[in-house]
Structure 1
Amino acid sequence: MLSFWESDFYTSYDHIVVGSGIVGLSTALSIREKLPNARVLVLERGHFPTGASTKNAGFACFGSLSEIAADLEKLSEEEVLKLVQLRWEGLQLLRQRLTDEAIDFRNYGGYELLRANEVGVLEQMDRVNTLLKPLFGQPVYSLVNERIESFGFPNSRVEALVFNPFEAQIHSGRMMKRLTALATSKGVEVMTGAQVVAFEEQSGCVEVALANGPKLRAGQLVFCTNAFTRYFFPHADLEPGRGVVLVTQPIEGLKLKGTYHYDEGYYYFRNYENRVIFGGGRNLDLKTENTTDFNINDRILNQLKTDLQELILPDTRVEIDRVWTGIMAFGPNKKPIVERVSPRITMGVRLGGMGVAIGSKIGQQLAEIVCQ
Structure 2
Amino acid sequence: MSGQPKNTGFMPKHQDEAAGFSYWETKGWLQDLDAVVVGGGIVGMSAALHLRANHPDWHILILDCTTLGGATTRNAGFACFGSPSELLEDWKQLGAESTVDLVKMRWEGLRVLRQTWGDDAIGYQACGAIEAFTDADLMDACNEALPDLNEALTDVLGHPPF
If the TM-score is normalised by the length of the shorter chain, which range does it land in?
0.7 to 0.9
Structure-1 separation of matches of 2:57 and 2:49: 12
Structure-2 separation of matches of 1:99 and 1:34: 20
CA RMSD of superposed structures (Å): 2.2
Q: Give the residue type in structure 1 aligned to 2:54.
A: K
Q: TM-score scaled by structure 2?
A: 0.74
Which of residues 125, 129, 132 in structure 2 aligns to 1:106?
125
Aligned to 1:41: 61
| CA deviations over 1:182-241 (Å, ceiling 9, x no partner) | xxxxxxxxxxxxxxxxxxxxxxxxxxxxxxxxxxxxxxxxxxxxxxxxxxxxxxxxxxxx
Which of residues 65, 84, 96 in structure 1 aligns to 2:103?
84
Structure-2 separation of matches of 1:48 and 1:73: 36
Which of residues 75, 94, 108 in structure 2 aligns to 1:75?
94
Question: Contact (CA 8 Å) 2:40, 2:62: kept in 1 or not?
Answer: yes
- Are residues 10 and 106 of structure 1, via their aligned partners in 2, closer, same or farther at CA, if it must alter by over 3 Å? same
Consecutive unaligned residues of structure 1, counting only runs of 5 or more, are 142-372
Partner of 1:92: helix, strand, or coil? helix
- Are residues 65 and 2 of structure 1, via their aligned partners in 2, closer, same or farther at CA, if it must alter by over 3 Å? closer
Structure-1 separation of matches of 2:87 and 2:126: 20
Deviates more, 1:14-23 or 1:129-138: 14-23
Q: By percentage of residues, which structure has more strand?
A: 1
Larger Rg: 2
Q: Give the residue type in structure 2 aligned to 1:70.
A: E
Which of the pair has the greater relative contact order for Cα pairs under 8 Å at 6+ separation?
1
TM alignment of 1:211-222, pairs within 5 A: none
How much does 1:111 deviate?
A: 1.5
Structure-1 separation of matches of 2:94 and 2:36: 34
How much does 1:17 deviate?
A: 2.4
Aligned to 1:15: 35
Structure-1 separation of matches of 2:109 and 2:143: 27
**Sequence identity, in percent?**
39
Structure-2 separation of matches of 1:88 and 1:78: 15
Question: Contact (CA 8 Å) 2:29, 2:61: kept in 1 or not?
Answer: no
Aligned to 1:184: none
Q: Give the residue type in structure 2 aligned to 1:78.
A: E
Q: Does 1:24 align with 2:24?
A: no
How much does 1:15 deviate?
A: 2.4
Structure-1 separation of matches of 2:30 and 2:133: 54
Structure-1 separation of matches of 2:95 and 2:29: 48
How much does 1:43 deviate?
A: 2.4
Structure-1 separation of matches of 2:94 and 2:122: 32
Partner of 2:131: helix, strand, or coil? strand
How much does 1:10 deviate?
A: 4.2
Question: Contact (CA 8 Å) 2:37, 2:62: kept in 1 or not?
Answer: yes
- Are residues 78 and 101 of structure 1, via their aligned partners in 2, closer, same or farther at CA, if it must alter by over 3 Å? same
Partner of 2:74: helix, strand, or coil? coil
Partner of 1:113: helix, strand, or coil? coil
Structure-1 separation of matches of 2:38 and 2:157: 35
Aligned to 2:154: 133
